[in-house]
Amino acid sequence: MSEQVLRNGNVMERSRTRTIAQIAMLGAVAGVLMNLEFPLPFLAPSFYQLDFSEIPALLAAFAMGPVAGILTELVKILVHLVTKGTMTAGVGDVANFIFGCAYVVPAGLIYRFRHVKSRKHAVLGMAAGTVLTTMAACFMNAFVLLPAYGKAFGMPVEAFIEMGAAVHSSVNNLLGFVVMIIVPFNLFKYTLVSIIVFFIYKRIRVVLKGD
């Protein structure tokens, strides 16, 4: 009996070590991807940039659960801060962490709901994460990020609204900026990430701890 307990303990320890190593690896990849960002001038001003750092975090959430997704997001932010630093005293990085968690947690929870894992649950999870993250981005940008960016760069919020108007002529106030810039940008970003993960997850899950 004691040998069986010891054997089970060794298996659990190896599994825990493997999980930690995979989270660290995926987080490091996410941190690098976060540095490889580029603007989408047809959707938003240049200070909003697209990156694919949520892909590793979502893979972690699907393979190992929502907590793994959160930890991957945390490692991502730490890697980004070490390699690139911050221009908003960490405000933007905290917001990125919140957005990432808002995306991967519901996706991971729905995908693994009652241990039923299917393409349908994956799509529903990613759709829920996309909507929730877009809502969080609207609130955070309006009340936290734009004022913080304005303070960091010595610009009034109205300057950002003018930059939004250059992209979409109907933007003439903060509400218009949120509706015409923030919403489309985030829906595009997280829908694109979802599509990519949808097609690659089943191919790489064999190297991750998952179903």
Which are the contacts of 46, defined by CB distance < 8 A and separation ≥ 6?
39
Count of domains forming the chain: 1
pLDDT tens digits, one per residue of 20-55? 999 999 999 999 999 999 999 999 999 899 999 999
Cβ atoms 42, 80 nearer than 8 A = no
pLDDT, tens digit, for every residue of 70-113?
999 999 999 999 998 877 777 889 999 999 999 999 999 999 87
Q: Which residue reads 């949520």 in tokens?
A: 54
Say whether pLDDT at 140 is over 70.
Answer: yes
Amino acid at 20: I
6 band by pLDDT with thresholds 50, 70 and 90:
very low
Q: How far apart are CA 28 and CA 14, in angstroms?
A: 21
**Whether residue 210 has pLDDT greater than 60:** no
Q: Are 106 and 127 in contact (CB under 8 A)?
A: no
* Count of H-run helices and E-run strands, the chain: 9, 2
Strand partners of residue 39: 49
Question: In the 8-state DSSP scheme, what is residue 178?
Answer: I
pTM: 0.89
- The CATH number of the domain holding residue 183 is 1.10.1760.20
pLDDT band at 4 (very low <50, low <70, confident <90, very high): low
Residue 185 token pair: 């940008």
DSSP 39: E
Q: Structural domain of residue 202, as residue ranges? A: 2-37+45-207
Q: Identify the pLDDT of residue 85.
A: 83
pLDDT at position 37:
92
